[in-house]
Amino acid sequence: MKPDSTKYHLINVADGHEFEDKGWTLSDPVGKTPSLVRAVYDNRSFEPRTDLDGIYRYANWMPVSRTLKKSCAPVTYKSKGLAKHLGLNNLYITYSGWNPKLGAKFRTCSFKETEAYSVLARMDSREKRVLVVQSAGNTARAFAQVCSDNRIPVVICVPCDCLHDLWFTKKLNKCVKLVTVPHGCDYYDAISVGEKLAENPMFMLEGGAKNIARRDGMGTTILSFAEKTGVIPDAYFQAVGSGTGAIAAWENACRLAQDPRFGKNNMKVFVAQNKPFTLIYDSWKAGSRELLPLDPEVGRREAEIILAKVLSNRKPPYSIAGGLFDVLKASGGDVYLADNNDIMYWMMQFRNLEGYELLPSACVAVAALAKAVEEGRVAKEDNIMLNCTGGGTLAAMSKGYVFKQSDLEIAPETPSEEIIAKVKALF
């Protein structure tokens, strides 16, 4: 099924320059400072599409020209158990995982599917280049599954230490190629390999946070909340590695505020990291727009320690105009920390209170919410959105699963020419 092409143009967040999308524009070609570009949709009213399935019900605010099969939209419901435990009257959980009873059927159990279905639907169906995606785990699984289902060639670069996350309910199509960096390397090293690969015209970088489709796909979480409640949240909670999901939530809150039915955007954005990987937290608490220095070896060691390994990005879109620093500042938000003990505690508590299990990263967000309540940062009557970004792995895996093995392992310091030659040989 193909929707009417969504009509939009792009704007440079730093200077307000407006221009047209050339199809895969990731930045303003005449911009003078590093900046995200944002999609400005012709349709300023929030209107879910009743003629489209899954995530594409929000296609009016997604830069897509086609739909892909087997997508699912995030599900929002009013919490009872956790809300009562925390003393909150209007706590809503937006869930993106596997829980058919809730209506959530994310087969890879992560909200990273929202990115994949949006990014890949932005691609021209006639595109001949091979997409390159870099990931610490969940994004890899999502893109691998969606590309396999829709036979879209992709090279996914991940740390070898994340291979245990690359499980699937059945064997993937051969169009999906997995390139790993060796034991001890981290997400930043996987990014480096992908960037070298994309120096060749056969390949194209997905673009990460700079890709409007990635952000607007992730932003469907807040659209799910708005559709359920009819309001913009007073407070938004999410665990972050890069912070792209929080940026996306803020951008869609701003879009909703243009629709008179939703009022002003007074949403505070609260994000959280898994201690001891605290790059965003440390930079924010220092009042610094620039990320504080982080020794690569220290970063790799910290990434090995944390339970929520997907929250270990050494190169997040924090400083760039329109990035996480600007979102936290504009919203009056803050950054929290949760250690591994907090994660284990809330994994058990959440299951007891809400009846299903979350991924460790989502429990970092739950811990942040609990701390915000304790500190009085949110009020009992506030409309609160808790973005639970994944869960249900045990249920999803119960009928069997297979792991995707690495097609090629290569060190990040390998010269570009060698990386390109070896990956080309996979095809």
Element holding 252 (H helix, E strand): helix 244-256
Dist CA 312 CA 187 (whole Å): 7
Task: List Cβ neighbours of 153 (8 Å cut-off, separation of 6 or more).
Answer: 130, 131, 147, 175, 177, 427
Q: What is the mean pLDDT of each run of 10 residues along the chain (427 residues)?
A: 72 96 93 96 95 95 93 97 98 97 94 95 92 88 95 94 88 95 87 93 93 97 97 98 96 97 96 98 98 93 91 93 98 98 98 96 98 97 97 89 93 94 94
Residue pLDDT, tens place only, 185-235 = 888 889 899 999 999 999 999 998 999 999 999 999 999 999 999 999 999
What's the predicted TM-score (pTM) here?
0.93
Q: For residue 388, what are the β-bridge partners?
A: 95
Dist CA 312 CA 328 (whole Å): 19
Give the mean pLDDT of the chain.
94
pLDDT at 1: 40
Residue pLDDT, tens place only, 267-278 = 999 999 999 999
Task: List Cβ neighbours of 348 (8 Å cut-off, separation of 6 or more).
Answer: none
Contact 223, 216 (CB under 8 A): no
pLDDT at 5: 63
Task: List Cβ neighbours of 278 (8 Å cut-off, separation of 6 or more).
Answer: 302, 337
Q: 263: which DSSP letter?
A: -
Contact 362, 389 (CB under 8 A): yes
pLDDT at 186: 82
